Amino acid sequence: MQKVISTDKAPSAIGPYSQAIEINNMVYTSGVIPVIPATGEIAEGGVEAQAEQAFQNLCNLVEVSGSKVENIVKTTVFIKEMNDFGKINEIYKKYFKEPFPARSCVEVARLPKDVLLEVEAIAWK
């Protein structure tokens, strides 16, 4: 049986989807963007600030599900500019420790609200 995960500690859905779904003790998040949940504004300060906000939002969402960041086994990071890969990796390492989750990182032409990155995850409970 699936359970919808929802929190005000991460950006609300801006379309017909759930923030996350739990099924069979696994949590699957939707893409999370660097929106400040309290204000609805996009984090200012370039890709580093947006990465901090997006990863914090993702961690909040996973923790509200009853899981924890250490249980994330896979992430996908969508970035607007592959030249920001190194900067994003530095922020990523603040939130994820070894053994790091499996990860895909792809450059995309455009993201919702014209943000610089979006991240999604799969975690176990």
pLDDT at residue number 43: 98
- Of 105, 107, 111, 115, the active-site residue reads 105
Per-residue pLDDT tens digits for 83-92: 999 999 999 9
pLDDT at residue number 95: 98
The answer to whether the beta carbons of residues 35 and 53 sit under 8 Å apart is yes
Is there a catalytic annotation at residue 59?
no
The answer to whether the beta carbons of residues 12 and 59 sit under 8 Å apart is no
Place of tokens 């420790």: 97
Q: Which CATH class is domain 3-124?
A: alpha beta
pLDDT at residue number 14: 85
Backbone angles phi and psi of 61, in degrees to 5: -65, -45
Residue 75 CA to residue 91 CA, distance in Å, equals 14
Residue ranges of the chain whose pLDDT lies below 50 = none
